[in-house]
Amino acid sequence: MRLVNRVENRRWLQDEIVATKERLKEEKGELKFIRHALQCSQCLMELQLAIERYGGRNLPWYLDLTNEYWDDEDEDWSEENGLPEYYKDCPRVKNYEIGSYWSGASEDTIRFIKDRLKWAEKIVEKEVNVIRRYLRALRKWDLQSPLPPDSYINAY
């Protein structure tokens, strides 16, 4: 039975290392995007258009306004749900004059995008550090002691 457990643990470990490396790669790419977008006027303009015209649909989670204040019970927009509910320091949309087709473009949209990017950068940096620590723990695991908990990667 020990041999079977060891084989299963080794297989789990190999799969978990591959999945963790992939997640680290994704988060590092997200961090690279955030840092680039903060400096690139072309990216800021494209993000502004996406937010003002489409509510940020298909943008990263921290810029997607279509999911920000959705209340499933009433099927209506509500400020009780969304990112500010989970992240108290999240820049709130209501504090900005977001432009639209009808009102035209707004410089405040760019300010909103920059504020959200700076805010999200901190969160993604924490995630990258947690994933790195988890990957180190996986690589040091001796295949006999209790498995590293899956929830470790989400704790930061």
The domain limits of the chain are 2-154
Q: Answer for the pair 150, 22: CB distance below 8 angstroms, yes or no.
A: no
**pLDDT above 90: residue 1:** no
Element (H, E) at 17: helix 2-39
Compare 19 and 1 and report the one with higher pLDDT.
19
pTM exceeding the 0.95 threshold for the entire prediction: no
Collapsing DSSP to helix, strand or coil, 90 comes out as: coil
Secondary element (H or E) of residue 146: none
Residue 55 Rama label (left phi>0; alpha psi -120 to 50; beta): left
pLDDT tens per residue across span 53-89: 988 888 998 998 876 654 444 444 444 555 656 677 8
